[in-house]
């Protein structure tokens, strides 16, 4: 059968056992760990899954036509698949399908202002209760920064905000700061409350905008931390500092030049911008079709070379690049575990199919960061070469000083 032949050529590390609808079993791989067993609940499913497995296997899991046998779990199954994905990508028929995806990519990335807001609403305007079930208390929905692997999610998300602030080089109070893709307002409120920035956040999510405004009013900082339901392309500057976290993935490759040109226009001559984005370490490729269809429509993931080409054309200077390895894998692990702890409540809020979709999303993305070349880029940009100190020691010194300050406050 086509699916069996595919798995025979694909699974080299670990062990995957397949139970067909008629009860027949086959095992693939080296016989070692990790191991998982799945069952096909419908006859004739083998051929269907073999074509475009990146989309159809998750869909079958969502629909309950592919199930996990007792003793197996989704994270382990996806760990096996991710470890062996390169073997699948080398297969001629998979390469043919991938070429088709590439041809349709530009149309799917068409991202005018109205379409961009629709794409954002698909994911970010879900019930806020859902996000309460797995995010930290500040609702940081992006990669955390683990200065120690044993740190809590709350600590790692706080340290992420500190790390970004250090790179923004906040030399004086009152710096006019733009947060592009401001989410539920956590980063903007941190910059306003703890670092005395004058913050404007822009988001396309109705629910995020509502919450961020409420948070600013509740904390009494609405006079110097305001949030707009607005596309960044409609904003006017100049801004002393610009930060964007987890938004660039939604811009679309064909719109990179537009994004960086707008950042250049919004940034003051002596300003600093820090961009935090998921990135690929391998060659440019389409985003996973399951993620594009069900989770983040219109999204894509840049390689550093793609982003840099547009930065160079914009006239901005790249003054620092940091690659965060495995930080997002750990973040997603925390999110997945928290989601599982409250899964029953999410099923009541939505349904079982939604829960399986969300499990596939969180666990699948985690394994993408562990085994498939996904990382996070933090790119610092200026308009002048002399804007920042000659070495990046100021980043570490600022974080060290802030750490001492936090320790003294705790005493």
Catalytic residues: 365
* Chain-centre distance for alpha carbon 52: 23
Q: Which helix (H) or strand (E) holds 199?
A: strand 198-203
Other CB atoms within a 10 A radius of the CB of residue 164 amount to 22
- Asked if 354 and 360 count as a contact pair (C-beta separation under 8 A), the reply is no
How many whole angstroms separate alpha carbon 79 and alpha carbon 29? Answer: 13
- Asked if 298 and 115 count as a contact pair (C-beta separation under 8 A), the reply is yes
Peptide bond preceding 238 in cis form (omega within 30 of 0): yes
Euclidean distance between the first and the last CA atom of the chain, given in angstroms as a whole number: 66
Longest dimension (CA), the chain: 70
How many whole angstroms separate alpha carbon 364 and alpha carbon 75? Answer: 8
Q: CA dist 134 to 131, 160, 319, Å?
A: 6, 17, 35
How many whole angstroms separate alpha carbon 185 and alpha carbon 209? Answer: 8
The dihedral formed by the CA atoms of 196, 165, 158 and 221, expressed in degrees to the nearest 10 = 20
Q: CA dist 188 to 87, 91, 229, Å?
A: 43, 46, 14
DSSP 402: H
Other CB atoms within a 10 A radius of the CB of residue 68 amount to 15
How many whole angstroms separate alpha carbon 26 and alpha carbon 37? Answer: 10
Q: Is the dihedral of CA 188, 189, 194, 200 positive or negative?
A: positive
- Asked if 315 and 340 count as a contact pair (C-beta separation under 8 A), the reply is no
How many whole angstroms separate alpha carbon 242 and alpha carbon 263? Answer: 8
Tokens representing residue 224 in the block: 């110097």
Other CB atoms within a 10 A radius of the CB of residue 400 amount to 11
Mutual orientation of helices 393-410 and 153-168 as an angle, nearest 10°?
130
């Amino acid at each position: 059968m086509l699916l069996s032949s595919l798995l025979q050529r694909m699974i080299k590390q670990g062990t995957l056992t397949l139970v067909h609808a008629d009860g027949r079993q086959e095992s693939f791989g080296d016989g070692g760990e990790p191991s998982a067993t799945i069952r096909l609940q419908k006859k004739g499913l083998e051929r269907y899954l073999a074509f475009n497995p990146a989309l159809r296997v998750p869909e079958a899991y969502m629909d309950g036509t592919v199930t996990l046998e007792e003793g197996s779990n989704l994270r382990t199954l996806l760990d096996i698949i991710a470890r062996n994905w390169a073997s699948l990508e080398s297969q001629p028929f998979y390469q043919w399908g991938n070429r088709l995806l590439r041809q349709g990519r530009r149309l799917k990335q068409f991202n005018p202002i109205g379409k961009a807001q629709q794409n954002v609403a698909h994911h970010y305007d879900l019930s806020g209760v859902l996000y309460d079930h797995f995010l930290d208390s500040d609702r940081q929905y992006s990669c955390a920064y683990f200065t120690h692997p044993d740190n809590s999610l709350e600590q790692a998300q706080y340290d992420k905000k500190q790390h970004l602030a250090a790179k923004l080089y906040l030399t004086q109070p009152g710096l006019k700061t733009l947060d592009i893709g401001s989410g539920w307002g956590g980063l903007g409120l941190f910059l306003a409350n703890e670092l005395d920035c004058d913050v404007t956040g822009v988001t396309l999510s109705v629910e995020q905008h509502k919450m961020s405004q409420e948070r600013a009013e509740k904390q009494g900082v609405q006079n110097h931390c305001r949030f707009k339901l607005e596309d960044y392309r409609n904003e006017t500057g100049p801004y002393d500092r610009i930060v964007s976290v987890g938004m660039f993935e939604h811009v679309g490759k064909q719109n990179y030049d537009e994004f960086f040109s707008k950042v250049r226009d919004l940034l003051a001559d002596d300003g600093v911008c820090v961009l935090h984005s998921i990135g690929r370490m391998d060659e440019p490729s389409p985003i996973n079709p399951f993620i594009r269809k069900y989770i983040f429509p219109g999204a894509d993931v840049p390689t550093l070379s793609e982003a840099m080409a547009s930065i160079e054309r914009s006239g901005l200077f790249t003054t620092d690049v940091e690659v965060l390895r495995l930080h997002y894998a750990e973040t997603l692990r925390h999110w997945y575990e928290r989601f599982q702890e409250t899964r029953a409540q999410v099923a009541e809020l939505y349904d079982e199919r939604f829960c399986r979709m969300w499990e596939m999303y969180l666990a699948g993305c985690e394994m993408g960061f562990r085994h498939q070349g996904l990382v996070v880029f933090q790119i610092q940009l200026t308009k002048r070469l002399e804007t920042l100190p000659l070495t990046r020691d100021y980043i570490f010194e600022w974080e060290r000083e802030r750490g001492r300050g936090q320790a003294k406050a705790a005493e």
